[in-house]
Chains A and B, each alone.
Chain A
Amino acid sequence: MTQLPPPSAKKLGLVIDLDTCVGCHACVVSCKGWNTENYGAPLSDQEAYGANPSGTFLNRVHSFEVQPDQGEAQLIHFPKSCLHCEDAPCVTVCPTGASYKRAEDGIVLVNESDCIGCGLCAWACPYGARELDAKEGVMKKCTLCVDRIYNENLPEEDRQPACVRTCPAGARHFGDLGDADSDVSKLVAERGGFDLMPEQGTKPVNKYLPPRPKDEMPEFDILAPYLEPIASDGKGFVGWLDKALSSLPGGAK
């Protein structure tokens, strides 16, 4: 049923560190790789090598420029996938019961054999976490690599989502956000983790860590006087040269 289960004690999710993410898109590639070869319909591409390439992805990295009132603009890489919301609006709109939230760990999944591909769940999601696969006609979304995290055939270090396992910067963390003593919960508390679009009332489980404030560069003026540009009202030789060149026909005044 697409009724949401009562809030689970265990809330598996991701913590994404916007301070650390370097925007390499390795998580995008490993996600596409794992989820094409494993659970459910493969993530298809259309015209992959053509003029207008397009495809299904469960994780995409945006880049934003943030301009403070004073100082330099910052570039922030912003990975975005399903946030496994507690009040998941994508689940309740589903007419067939294909979309559901697991009572045991809070993961939001799609039962692809029940999905009619109406697209309503993608309409209801404010984050763009669901994409209708153009070839299979079913809705695809992040499974939190449910086929890895409980998979006892994998070595223990691999029992985490593919995006987390592959991130070379350590910007992605996986764990139980329902447990206040878990590493991810401590990280969120310590760094002031926040929700995306809190006003939408979806109560996302995934959290984002804000970029740390930039260091202030101390001013060195030992060399500065020697590096000052030549004054426009130059004196001496430079002043004479300026005047002489200006007096030539067509010279800059």
Chain B
Amino acid sequence: MHPASSVIIFNTFSGLGFGLLFWLGMGALVPTGMSAFIWFAIAYLLAVGGLIASTFHLGHPERAIKAFSQWKTSWLSREGICAVFALLAMALYGAGLVFAETRLGLIGFIGGIASLGVVFTTSMIYAQMKTVPRWRHWTTPAMYMLLSVGGGALLSGQVRIAAVLLIAGGILQIFAWASGDTRFKTSGTNMETATGLGHIGKVRAFEPPHTGTNYLMREFIHQVGRKHADQLRIITIGLAFVLPVVLLLLPFSHMLAALAVLCHIAGVLTLRWLFFAQAEHVVGLYYGKR
């Protein structure tokens, strides 16, 4: 799949932002006044900034309002509704803390759960795709949620929880990669089922429909950079999980904490790039490519 930068930025930063909103809503930290304003501003910049970035890949972003209508079947629609609900609830909760120094606990709890709901609905957009066997697995939503709450814990300075969640995230990511590597092969879709010609013999793509490229090949067949996947996986594990945990376990300083956050963000950006670049869509079979 084509790793669109707008979608990678959205997945990374909105995930962090909603993770931070989750911990704020749950009352893991209860800032008030100016300090609360800064915490909520950071969370909203990340969450909303990512959502705005995600609209850049749309053909007609001006019609985005229509995307709230099909929640009965569409995970993208559910994500939109969940995001607006979470952001409104958390704005109310934040306003209580900033302006009235009052903690509206129930609203915070609902907003926190809804923030996690946004991350879950996002992950299901990918996990539902039968056409991309690597994504169609429980590890996709599990990894999205774990990264979001882990990153949120790291941002909000909860050293012990963050360390535990990041270690768990690293282990789950390694499992997700290992199990995902064979999923296309075991999905049952291959050149023979794609063409229905398997009863005659071995099928090979002989000539593509056009000499040039097309939308399908640009969007679904991404081979550049896959050859570096092994190195990028090691870099991802190092930056997103190992380094931040090591930095957290060192004696606390604000510099080290900031470095841990930056490392984590760089690692998650790499992880998301791999998430798309390594995912193979079955339509590539018609082109004899993956």
Chain B 117-148 per-residue mask, 1 if CB under 8 angstroms from chain A, else 0: 00000000100111110000000000000000
C-alpha spacing A92/B73, complex, angstroms: 5
Nearest-neighbor residue (CB-CB) of A74 within chain B:
B200
Chain B contacts for A118, CB-based, 8 A: 57-59, 67, 76
B251 located at the interface, meaning its Cβ lies under 8 Å from any Cβ of chain A in the complex: no
Do the beta carbons of A126 and B215 come within 8 Å of each other? Answer: no
Q: Is the CB of A54 within 8 A of B63?
A: no
* Residue A174 CB within 8 A of the other chain: no
Contact call A114/B63, Cβ cutoff below 8 A: yes
Question: Which among A63-71, A163-171, A219-227 touches the partner chain?
Answer: A63-71
Residue on A with the closest CB to B198? A66
Beta-carbon contact of B195 and A57 below 8 Å: no
Alpha-carbon distance A99/B80, docked complex (angstroms): 18
Residues of B within 8 A of A138 (CB): 59-60
B88 CB to closest chain A CB (Å) equals 19
With a cutoff of 8 Å between Cβ atoms, the chain A residues found around residue B130 in the complex are: 89, 124, 126, 200-201
Chain A residues whose CB sits within 8 angstroms of the CB of B66 once the complex forms:
95-98, 114, 116
Question: Known: A63-B206, A95-B77, A200-B189. Is A194-B57 also a contact (CB below 8 A)?
Answer: no
Q: In the bound complex, do residue B70 and residue A94 qualify as a contact, i.e. CB atoms below 8 Å apart? A: yes
Cβ B196 vs Cβ A124 within 8 A = no
Kindly state whether residue A211 has any CB partner on chain B within 8 Å.
yes
Known A54-B213, A95-B80; judge A127-B283 contact (CB<8 A).
yes
Count the A residues whose beta carbon is within 8 Å of the partner chain — how many? 70
| Complex CA–CA separation, A116 to B189 (angstroms) | 30
Interface hits, A169-188 → B, CB 8 Å: none
Interchain CB contact under 8 A, B70 and A136: no
Residues of B within 8 A of A3 (CB): 72-73
A119 interface residue (CB < 8 Å to B): yes
**Which residues does chain B contribute within 8 Å of A120, judged by CB atoms?**
74, 76, 125
Specify which of B72, B206, B215 is in contact with A134 (CB 8 Å cutoff): B215
Most buried by B among A18, A80, A122, A197: A197
Q: Give how many B residues have a beta carbon under 8 Å from the other chain's beta carbons.
A: 60
For the complex, is A28 an interface residue (Cβ under 8 Å from B)? yes
Chain A's closest residue to B214 (CB) is A54
Given contacts A92-B74, A120-B125, A197-B282, A137 and B59 within 8 Å (CB-CB): yes
- Return chain B residues, CB-CB under 8 Å to A93: 73-76, 125, 128
CB closest chain-B residue, reference A91: B73
In-complex Cβ contact of A197 among B64, B194, B202, B214 (8 A): B194
A124→B129 CA distance, assembly (Å) = 6
Instruction: Find out whether the CB atom of A95 lies under 8 angstroms from the CB atom of B70.
Output: yes
Expressed in whole angstroms, the Cα–Cα distance for A69 and B281 within the complex equals 29
- Of A52, A65, A115, which is in contact with the most chain B CB atoms at under 10 Å from its CB? A65
- Across-interface contacts of A57 in B (CB, < 8 A): 209-210, 214
B250 on interface, CB distance cutoff 8 Å: no
A68–B67 touching, CB < 8 Å: no
Determine the residue in chain B with the shortest Cβ distance to A92. Answer: B73
B38 to chain A, nearest CB (A): 34
Give the residues in chain A near B194, CB-CB below 8 Å: 196-197
What residues of chain A lie closer than 8 Å to B80, measured between beta carbons? 95
B106 interface residue (CB < 8 Å to A): no
**Contact residues, A71-130 vs B (CB, 8 A):** 73-76, 78, 80, 89, 91-98, 114-120, 122-128
Q: Within 8 Å CB of B189, what residues of A? A: 126, 197, 199-200
What 1/0 flags go to A218-245 for Cβ under 8 Å of B? 0000000000000000000000000000
Q: Which residue of chain A is the closest to B192 with respect to CB atoms?
A: A66
| Min C-beta distance of B230 to chain A, whole Å | 26
In the complex formed, the residue of A with least CB distance to B282 is: A126
Which of the residues A53, A65, A195 comes within 8 Å of B204, measured between beta carbons?
A65
Q: Which of B77, B130, B206 has the most CB of A within 10 A?
A: B206
Contacts A194-B196, A211-B197 known; 11 new A-B pairs at CB < 8 A: A56-B214, A62-B205, A62-B286, A94-B73, A95-B66, A114-B63, A118-B67, A128-B286, A132-B219, A198-B193, A210-B197
23 contacts between A and B (CB under 8 A): A1-B70, A3-B72, A54-B213, A57-B210, A62-B205, A64-B205, A65-B203, A65-B206, A66-B200, A66-B201, A66-B203, A67-B201, A74-B200, A74-B201, A80-B286, A95-B74, A96-B67, A116-B67, A122-B216, A126-B130, A126-B282, A126-B283, A211-B200
Q: Which are the 8 A-B pairs with shortest beta-carbon distances?
A: A117-B59, A137-B59, A60-B209, A68-B201, A95-B67, A128-B283, A95-B77, A96-B66
**Chain A interface residues toward B at CB < 8 A:** 1-3, 18, 25, 28, 52-57, 60-69, 73-76, 78, 80, 89, 91-98, 114-120, 122-128, 131-134, 136-139, 194-201, 208, 210-211
